[in-house]
Amino acid sequence: MKDVTAVILAAGMGTRMKSSLPKVLHRAAGRPLVEYPVRAALELGVASVVVVTSGHPEIARSLEAAFGARVSTVVQDPPRGTGDAARVGLARVETERALVYYGDAPLMTARELEAIVTASREAELAFASAMPENPHGYGRVLRDASGRVLEVREQRDLESDAERAVREVNAGVYAAKKSVLTRALADLKPMNAQGELYLTDIVAAVATEGRVVALVGSPDALVGVNDRSQLREAEELLFARIRERLGREGVMVHGDARIDDGVSVAPGAELEAGVRLRGATTIGPDTRIDVGSVLTDATLGARVVVKPYSVISSSRVGDGAEIGPFAHLRPESDIEAEAHVGNFVETKKTRMRRGSKANHLAYLGDGDVGERANVGAGTIFCNYDGYQKHRTVIGEDAFIGSDSQLVAPVSIGKRAFVGSGTTVTQDVPDDALALSRTRQENKLDYGPMLRARLGEAARRAKEKK
């Protein structure tokens, strides 16, 4: 495909999105819409990709970050229609042939683009069409009695019920020699309901003198995102595609798990229904993520078990670790191999070294928990004094009794014990026991006396009423 340049039109206002963000920057399955058509072109192996944009700096920035120098942008300002956008893009084409399509169609694949380019080698112009259940809103492909393509006419410019009944619609991918496109685009006039230059008008222009092929493809690929309801529809189709791909790669995906496009999952992993994997999350082999867990930019090793309803953000989890149910790993948590973080435990910027455990109800912020150390239920790292965050360091094999507060900055020595209910404000040396609770007193046979006294008080209170 070295004789082909892809021109992607992404400068429209996207008014139907009702958003201040340009349409093509809205995300589907974790990526800005515009990245999908660009990726399809790169997969196809075109000579280069030119994206026509509104000039919003974020579009160029996002493309640069995702694809580097392989993709260039050119600004169409003001946006005067798809025909005008194609002109602007075509001016940057240096190859013999161009493939022009819309930036709001994230489901278009390299395969479908390839078919159009191939068809264009046998005709003056080739474009993609489809037969959706409901053609409303799309440009219709009008043919003569013999089936020859005559023109594409937009929904608002249709003139008869017969035209409106046509099911074949324009999918918005065009391929031709640059010279053919340039000539046809030069003659465009805004003779339509919107007063715009329509790229679709090149079909009629070229059809008067040469052969135009409309290649009928899958209606899925057609889904163009004009409003948020179509964005939702496109995103669900993208998620379904990702689930299918992972299934073929040896990942067991149950039900409606939603996995972003940028996520990588190793074979043998299992994702339960209702799991949401976002951003640049990476899942190692044989790791299991149970129902309702939400992972964002998380890196999980092999054989990790994430029990139901856990939330992991910008954190790492080592091989064989166990998380949840209902655990919350906030950014920069580093849970090493074989460590356990159990129900209602929240970690933040905390390293849980190999084999350490915090199984129930704890807040562990800005900490470092040594190998095999055990953090009891109800432990709190008091990391914030209202002004600054401070660190809590726990040595290897230490034991923190339940309901302890470790007032940071503080460190607990190796093999040390902290007695249950202790408020630790000073460092604890290796092998020591720290205790700060008041001594217990047992008053023998006090129960019956106390009961009589409390009962009498209750009776008197009732009489007063």
- Give the ranges where 97-174 is alpha helix by DSSP (H): 110-120, 161-164
Whether the bond into 219 is cis, omega within 30 of 0: no
What Rg, from alpha-carbon coordinates, does the chain have? 32
Quick one: what does residue 364 bind among Ca ion, ligand UD1, none, with the CB cut-off 5 to 8 Å set by partner type?
none
Helices 35-44 + 57-67 axis angle, to 10: 40
Which residue stretch of 102-110, 309-317, 397-405, 447-455 sits at the interface with ligand UD1 (rule: CB under 6 A)? Answer: 102-110
Tell me the C-alpha distance between 209 and 218, whole Å: 29
Which residue stretch of 168-176, 280-288, 339-347, 420-428 sits at the interface with ligand UD1 (rule: CB under 6 A)? Answer: 168-176
Nearest CB to Ca ion, comparing residues 139 and 324: 139
Tell me the C-alpha distance between 99 and 46, whole Å: 9
Contact between 104 and ligand UD1 (CB under 6 A)?
Answer: yes
State the number of CA atoms in the 13 A half-sphere of 208 facing the CB: 5
Across 62-103, the runs of DSSP E, i.e. the strands, are 71-75, 97-102
- Taking the complex as a whole, the smallest distance from the CB of residue 225 to Ca ion amounts, in Å, to 7
- Taking the complex as a whole, the smallest distance from the CB of residue 208 to ligand UD1 amounts, in Å, to 19
Which residue stretch of 74-82, 175-183, 246-254, 387-395 sits at the interface with ligand UD1 (rule: CB under 6 A)? Answer: 74-82
Distance of CA 324 to the CA centre of its chain: 23
- Taking the complex as a whole, the smallest distance from the CB of residue 135 to ligand UD1 amounts, in Å, to 9
Of positions 1, 6, 10, 283, contacts ligand UD1 by CB under 6 A: 10
Tell me the C-alpha distance between 168 and 135, whole Å: 7
Contact between 154 and ligand UD1 (CB under 6 A)?
Answer: yes
- Which structure tokens are listed for 319? 């091989």
| Total binding residues toward ligand UD1, as defined by CB under 6 A | 28
As a whole number of angstroms, the longest Cα–Cα distance in the chain is: 110
Tell me the C-alpha distance between 266 and 115, whole Å: 32
Contact between 37 and Ca ion (CB under 5 A)?
Answer: no
Tell me the C-alpha distance between 421 and 379, whole Å: 9
Quick one: what does residue 152 bind among Ca ion, ligand UD1, none, with the CB cut-off 5 to 8 Å set by partner type?
ligand UD1
Interaction mask 88-117, Ca ion, x per CB under 5 A = ----------------x-------------
- Which structure tokens are listed for 210? 């040469």
Whether the bond into 308 is cis, omega within 30 of 0: no
**Binding to ligand UD1 (CB under 6 A): which residues in 38-67?**
52
Nearest CB to ligand UD1, comparing residues 198 and 417: 198
Whether the bond into 78 is cis, omega within 30 of 0: yes
**Binding to ligand UD1 (CB under 6 A): which residues in 206-245?**
224, 226
Find where tokens 């149970």 sit: 290
Which residue stretch of 194-202, 352-360, 372-380, 441-449 sits at the interface with ligand UD1 (rule: CB under 6 A)? Answer: 194-202
- Taking the complex as a whole, the smallest distance from the CB of residue 274 to Ca ion amounts, in Å, to 31
- Taking the complex as a whole, the smallest distance from the CB of residue 398 to ligand UD1 amounts, in Å, to 59
Contact between 98 and ligand UD1 (CB under 6 A)?
Answer: no
Interaction mask 22-41, ligand UD1, x per CB under 6 A = -x------------------
Tell me the C-alpha distance between 345 and 32, whole Å: 34
| Chain residues in the site for Ca ion (CB under 5 A) | 104, 224, 226
| Chain residues in the site for ligand UD1 (CB under 6 A) | 9-12, 23, 52, 76, 79-82, 84-85, 102-104, 138-139, 152, 154, 169-170, 172, 198-200, 224, 226
